[in-house]
Structure 1
Amino acid sequence: MDLEFIKMSVPVLTQGAIVTIELTVLTLIFGTIIGIIGALFKTSKYKVLNLIASFYTWIIRGTPMLLQIFIIYFGLPSIGIEMEAMTAGVLALSINCGAYMTEIIRGGIQSVDKGQFEASKTLGLSYGQTMMHVIIPQTIRIILPSVGNEFITINKDTSIVSTITLVELMRSSQVIASSSFRAMETYLLAGVFYLAMTTVLTLLFSLIEKKVSVY
């Protein structure tokens, strides 16, 4: 691997890494929102909401993410719904992330002692107040390691959207490799970028866990 090739490749891969970061951030935001709603549905006393959330997680966790992306990007246009690659990628990744976040958050909520629900009810707190002030703060501490792992996984899984022509880090490396015929060097460089991003996420969550543990 010579320096000239690295100088040529790094700017292109950096542009791809920026798109990957955008995908990751948007997916984490929307996926977390979906996960919170799904977890509240699954822990709800209303069976209809429970069934909806259970069906959603069953479908998404039981099918490959690649298939979900293809259905959204290539399948939906057949019924008149078209979207750009970026939109389709964020939608597919968020729906997939949301299913796993639903189970992570549900597990965290259910791990909190039931006596705290009863104590909150005795104190006159509503369900919403109980969740916001009593259950959720404890749930966050419980689920942080699992959430961190999910976020790191999503960062790497963004590479799948290269299959729908979205030029993120993986797609950028494929373009360089095919034009330069230097696959090994190109993919090793891409690996360095992925390692850098996942390392930052790992350190960030380690700091958050330490901060939360203080309280």
Structure 2
Amino acid sequence: MDFLALPLPALLQGLAVTFFLGLASFVLGSGLGAVVALARISAVLPLRLAAVAYVSVFRGTPLLIQIMLVYFGLPQLGVRIPPIPSAILTFTLYSGAYLSENFRGGILAVDKGQWEAANSMGLTYRRMLGRIIFPQAIRTALPAIGNRFIALMKDTSLASAITVVELTRVAESAGSSSFRYVEAFVAAAAGYWLINTALSLGQAALERRMGRAYA
């Protein structure tokens, strides 16, 4: 069986687009998730309610429908976004909802004594979060955050539904032109596996390093 039924340049291009979609969405989603997590634990009721509503909507609806609404629905409102930015926007909003819960769990896991000690030192809320709370929260939430990154890489395959030429789209095109769907999709699956295996190894190494720092 020839697993290179996908032309190598097209396969590499698809891998690059897939990795770009996943990485960009994860970075942006992490920033959004951190903000939403802080809103969830805020003493300001409107912020908490808005954060809860956002998380509920994006965790409670299928990602594919969200992609379709952004790419096909927004033009009805006069907003046209190209395929790749549409995919990144959707993946960012979707991953941000999940990551916010990961961050919130990590923050809530920090001992209350740490908050009290930071307050006694006269640190501002921003410095307290940046220097004391968030480093400990990230360490606690790292396994869940890493798993979300890996899941997001697989979710990028849904971008093929809006004509983004990523790995799944490349496999679909190669399969339809050669009628060798098995080889094409096995090659695509191998590409996703390689990316996520590398991410898993990186996550494990990071967890070991952070574990030594707190040993």
Cα distance in 2 for residues equivalent to 1:84 and 1:13: 22
- Aligned partner of 1:105 among 99, 103, 112: 103
Of 106, 113, 116 in structure 1, the residue corresponding to residue 114 of structure 2 is 116
Q: Hey, what does 2:126 align to over in structure 1? A: 128
Name the amino acid aligned to 1:192.
Answer: A
- Please, which moves more after superposition, 113-122 or 163-172? 113-122
How far apart are residue 11 of structure 1 and its match? Answer: 2.2
The Cα offsets for residues 52-90 of structure 1, whole Å up to 9 and x where unpaired, read as: 111100110010000100000000000100010001000
Contact 1:9 1:186 in 2 (8 A): no
- Give the conservation status (yes or no) of the 8 Å contact 1:28–1:94: yes
Distance 2:126 2:15 in 1: 40
Instruction: Show the counterpart of 1:173.
Output: 171
Instruction: Identify which of 55, 62, 69 aligns with 2:67.
Output: 69
- Displacement of 1:12 in angstroms is 1.4
For residues 94 and 68 of structure 1, what CA distance do their matches in structure 2 show? Answer: 11
- Look up the equivalent residue of 2:137 and give its one-letter code: T
Match of 1:91 in 2: 89
Amino acid at match of 1:96: Y
What is the distance in 2 between the residues matched to 1:42 and 1:179?
Answer: 49
User: 2:63 is matched by which residue type in structure 1?
Assistant: M
* Residue number in structure 1 paired with 2:16: 18
Aligned mates of 1:182, 1:8 — CA distance in 2:
9
How many residues end up aligned between the 2 structures? 213
Question: Unaligned stretches of 5+ in structure 1?
Answer: none
Does the 8 Å CA contact 1:170/1:190 hold for their aligned counterparts? yes
Q: Which amino acid aligns with 2:10?
A: V
Secondary structure at 1:74's aligned position in 2?
A: helix
Tell whether 2:172 aligns with 1:211. no
TM-score relative to the length of structure 2: 0.96
Q: Give distance in 2, aligned partners of 1:165 and 1:133.
A: 43
Structure 1 residues 8 and 92: alpha-carbon distance in aligned structure 2, compared to 1, 3 A threshold: closer
> Contact 2:5–2:183 (CA<8 Å) still a contact in 1?
no
Query: Counterpart of 1:199?
Result: 197
**What residue identity is the alignment partner of 1:85?**
P
1:46, CA displacement in angstroms?
1.0
Aligned to 2:46: 48
Q: CA deviation at 1:7?
A: 6.7
Cα distance in 2 between the residues matched to 1:74 and 1:14: 28
| 1:157 Cα deviation from its structure 2 partner | 0.3
List alignment gaps of at least 5 residues for structure 2. Answer: none
Give deviations 1:139-159, integer Å, cap 9, x for gaps: 111011001000000000000
Q: Aligned Cα RMSD in Å?
A: 1.1
TM-score by length of 1: 0.96
The letter of the residue matching 1:99 is A
Deviation at 1:49, TM superposition (A): 1.0
Aligned to 1:189: 187
